[in-house]
Amino acid sequence: MDGILNINKPTGMTSHDVVGKVRKLLSQRRVGHAGTLDPAASGVLPVCVGQATRVAEYLSESGKAYRATLVFGIVTDTYDAEGAVVQETDASALTRQQIEAMLPSFLGSQMQVPPRYSAIKLAGQPAYKRARAGEEIMLDARPITISRLEIVDWQPPALTLDIECSKGTYIRSLAYDLGKRSGYGAFLRNLVRTRSGPFVLSESITLEQVAEAVERGEVWRYLHAPEKALEYARALVLDIETAERVGHGNAFSGAPEQAGVNARELARVYDQEGRFLAVAAWDADRSMWQPVKVFAS
């Protein structure tokens, strides 16, 4: 059983909990998720099964999308509703126009400091564990890109935003930074991931649906092909001889597909029957495609 399940993670479960549930339902050991969601968040969580676990790293390359609700006038130590309140301010003077004026400065490529209460490891230990132990820690800023910030609703002091961003973006940090810029502070009250890579919320399924499909013997209906994780990449179709060489991990010529290829660009590799063979990366020095993950020989 190889493929990707587009799971709608419920609130209250960790991403690891979801993986454990799917592993048990499918009686499969090779199960993993792509892109952690906090327990308090819900929405799209791609879960990879079997051979598809090998493409999990590519799933977030085309970015993510969220619907987030922020509340101004309150700051918590975790930047979300799970934390302790560390600041309260009357935000009744804040207007939609002021928020609209702030948003453009948060668009584009930038550096973002992750929350202290995050799973990022410091000296081998998750930052949140060290923070809970009372340590004063500061995480280094990381490069991110936010491509869309659109106001969905403004019911003072609550703001709902639709967000599109790169992998590695912390919406909790965005909430904190918006609050700081406003002068009133803010925390993230609710978060739903509406897209992760090619997977969208409207096409997601619940764990209950997976369980029902198992009983009917129809889980295959919900399994997406592993190569869907790379649908943003170009597709290369090889002749029989070249396909056989790729099956053994050998590089192959890019002509005529090499025009306009960027260094280390990825491609999906197929044989003439449409069978997914490998993920290949462009080797600019040799002007060849090098298989980096082979799925069939």
Known catalytic residues?
A: 38
* Burial zone of 117 (CB within 10 Å; 0-12 exposed, 13-18 middle, 19+ buried): buried
H-only helix segments in the chain: 15-26, 96-102, 127-132, 171-182, 207-216, 240-246
77 φ/ψ sector (left φ>0, alpha ψ -120 to 50, else beta): alpha
The residue whose two tokens read 């990366």 is: 281
Q: Compute the CA torsion angle 196, 202, 204, 205 (nearest 10 deg).
A: 160
Q: Which residues lie across from 111 on neighbouring strands? A: 143
- Taking the C-alpha atoms of residue 214 and residue 237, their distance in angstroms, rounded to an integer, is 34
Nearest residue to 14 (alpha-carbon basis) of 48, 40, 34: 40
- Taking the C-alpha atoms of residue 236 and residue 268, their distance in angstroms, rounded to an integer, is 6
Give the pairing of strands 288-294 and 276-283: antiparallel
Query: How many other C-beta atoms lie within 10 A of the C-beta of residue 127?
Result: 20
For the packed helices 15-26 and 207-216, what is the interaxial angle rounded to 10 degrees? Answer: 10
Give the pairing of strands 266-270 and 276-283: antiparallel
The residue whose two tokens read 């990825």 is: 266
- Taking the C-alpha atoms of residue 171 and residue 90, their distance in angstroms, rounded to an integer, is 23
